Homo-oligomer: A and B are copies of this chain.
Amino acid sequence: MEQRLTLVTLGVADLDRAIAFYDALGWQRSVKDAPGIAFYQTGSVAFGLYPRAELAKDAGVSPDGSGFRGFALAHNLRTREEVDATLAEAEVAGATVIKPAEEAFWGGYSGYFADLDGFLWEVAWNPGFPLDEDGAVTLPD
């Protein structure tokens, strides 16, 4: 299996509400003619929003589930100040800041917000993970 991630799809309770949130963050949709789903280009990978029940149905699993989803997304920035500003921007868009940014044991600066469906986004500055001008991360060996 090639070392590749093509799409991360979040299953949301209310698609229009979720789109409005990512709109408020300034994100632009692609594949705008696809009904009932929203796609965003995020670097080499796509990000999708799809109704939670539909996502479970597509995979053939029960939609029942609660609590911690066991994963987190992260959005890295180039400075501590940008981390604080992005958390504030997310809060204005309707997110809940569940952990204000603080110095991290691994040498960076990081906080978390939860989107309207409770999905966790870490917002971080990590001096060990450089971002290129397009925002792509390049991991050290």
Q: Interface size of A by Cβ–Cβ distance < 8 Å?
A: 74
21 chain-A/chain-B pairs, Cβ below 8 angstroms: A1-B25, A1-B26, A1-B86, A1-B89, A4-B75, A5-B73, A7-B73, A8-B8, A9-B72, A9-B122, A10-B70, A32-B141, A43-B43, A43-B45, A45-B45, A46-B139, A52-B68, A58-B72, A59-B72, A59-B120, A69-B70
Q: Which residues of B contact A30 (CB under 8 A)?
A: 139-141
Alpha-carbon distance A2/B89, docked complex (angstroms): 11
One complex includes copies of this chain to the number of 2
Contact B56 A129 (CB under 8 A): no
Alpha-carbon distance A60/B65, docked complex (angstroms): 20
**Which of A3, A46, A98 has the largest count of B CB atoms less than 10 A from its CB?**
A3
A1-22, CB < 8 A from B: 1-11
Alpha-carbon distance A26/B3, docked complex (angstroms): 8
Contact A74 B6 (CB under 8 A): yes
A109-130, CB < 8 A from B: 112, 117, 119-120, 122, 124, 128-129
A25-68, CB < 8 A from B: 25-28, 30-32, 34, 39-47, 52, 55-56, 58-68
